Amino acid sequence: MEIALKRLEGVDRVAISMERQAFVVLYKPNASFDPEGIRDAVGKAEVDVVRFQIQARGRVSVEGNKPFFVAGKNRFLLVNSPKMPAGTLLLVGGDVKDGVSPLELRVREFKPLDKP
């Protein structure tokens, strides 16, 4: 499973915890989050992804009346998330719902960043 995850485009490092039944994928700067690729890679090892939790740097933008979190090439529709300042560089942590377009992000925590 580790080798399959490391072969995904933009992946920098992978850590797997059998005890916690979890894995972490760290991306290189400017790489895109690819939940479908991750599901395919771990599926070859007969592993199912139950939930995606992410940490990402980006900014909130409002399109129409909908708030989005934009991190590099990724855009996430914000759902059930705290109010965050638009245009400010933020570090967010939350849960991603994949299989929908656009991807949905429920932010659990965030903090403003001074530098990119």
Complete domains list, the chain, with CATH: 2-49 (no CATH), 53-112 (2.40.50.140)
**In the chain, pLDDT over 90 holds for what percent of residues?**
78
pTM beyond cutoff 0.85:
yes
CA pair distance 87, 47, nearest whole angstrom: 38
The answer to whether the CB of 95 falls within 8 A of the CB of 102 is no
**What value does the mean pLDDT of the chain take?**
92
Q: Which of 46, 79, 32, 39 is nearest to 60 (CA)?
A: 79
Residue 60 exposed, middle or buried by CB count within 10 Å (0-12, 13-18, 19+): buried
pLDDT band of 20, cuts 50, 70, 90: confident
Q: Which long-range contacts (CB under 8 A, 24 or more apart) does 32-35 make?
A: 32/72, 32/73, 32/74, 33/71, 33/74, 33/96, 33/103, 34/8, 34/9, 34/10, 35/96, 35/98, 35/103
pLDDT, tens digit (0-9, with 9 covering 90-100), for 24-78? 999 998 899 999 999 999 998 888 898 999 999 999 999 999 999 999 889 999 9
